[in-house]
Structure 1
Amino acid sequence: MNRIAVALPLVLALGACGSDADEPPTDLDVAVSDGEAEALARQIEAGDFLDLQLGAKIVGPQGEEVESALSNPEGNFADMRSFVACPAGMKTCDPAKAPEGTVYTYVHVVYPGEDNEDDSGSGEGNDSSDIERATVFRMTRPATGFTGAAGYSKDEAMAAIGPKADVVVTCDKGALVWTVSAGDGGDQWEQAEPLTFWWQSTVPPAGPAEAYAITANYTQATGSGPYPGQAAGATNACEAPPAKG
């Protein structure tokens, strides 16, 4: 499996905050196999969502944002709101008119359980159960056109999980995976706590596709969101060969 690992030093930046500051952080960036060691040797720093400079959003049939539920036969396990934005300075985001080389930022706001909005996502009463622990958000298809830039909202992670929050982004067979951990016990990423995840691609979306999943309450649920269209010759940083030392 060819992977890029992104170890996110949230604990180092926030370790002095909160009552749990003296507790040891979770440690998802320690290799326990040769494959993981190879991945960690290629780690990059994830960007904070608040640091992004975004322009206009793509307007599709559902408007600027796509709302969906991540579900399985047992029920709905999360709401998700997604959008795709052009770079800062672009007042309209129309892929048909965008200049060559435009980088598109895919943004997914994931709410375990529900978002408490009756008229969006799963809606009132449609969540399967109270989500006590969500641990993974991921793509289920290769990240077409992925530039190598990805991240999440560190402020939201701090608000949801606290100073022990640890988020690691890896690539699994060309798809991006965000692993969210707070260690054993204590605060977890749980019911109705939004976390924003983002990644960038050189390929614009072709429309919503069944391409995303959450692991919550130890089960996986899938759903649709904006996904890049087909693009001959598009690269994917998840599938790039390892850098030679």
Structure 2
Amino acid sequence: MQARRIARELALLSLSQLPSKAAKLDKKALQDVVLAAVRTLTTEARDTLETAAAELQRSDAKILDSETRAVDLDKAKTMLKEAIALTQNSINRLGGALDLPEFVQLANQTEVREYALEIVRRYYQEREEVQQQLDQALVDWQLSRLAAIDRHILQIATVEIAYLGVPDRVAINEAVELAKRYSEADGHRFINGVLRRVAQQMGVATTPPGAAVNTEV
């Protein structure tokens, strides 16, 4: 996992914990928000593992029932299918949970924390202009009506493009990856389109629409 990619995800989790109408957030308050995001990740890892363990127990119970309580072969097959599905869910959860300890460890590194904090700080300082840029780029939508996760992904990418010197192609690609992880099924396409319009508005668009970019900064 690359440091800035982790920092963006940490900033995304941090933005969700910012008070919407606070008069002022000082550096310490912002640091506390980032710390809270790390704690959120730790809790998520623990909860995911607990859920996976519970599903494995239910799967085991289904297998036992298929052997001892099934009245016929069809009933046994149904129970086994349910057990297999529960086991698969558990495996998928464990796969995701295995990434979280590394994520949490990297999120505690100074470089990652500082970049996440810089994203959050600059967003907070420039949020009126960021909102204006996004409002102009949205077609038949209002920023306030978007799902919170989509709104925060757009805000992070706009901050990176406008204030942190990140190339638009990198910021957009990273935002799309965040959307694939956190947003709805087609959310990444919506995010991609809005951010390309943002980049065009700023006069910094350098990547043709539809071009695949995997560069990390």
Greater RCO, 1 or 2 (C-alpha within 8 Å, sep 6+): 1
Normalized against structure 1, the TM-score is what? 0.27
Normalized against structure 2, the TM-score is what? 0.30
Higher helix fraction: Structure 1 or Structure 2? 2
Higher strand fraction: Structure 1 or Structure 2? 1
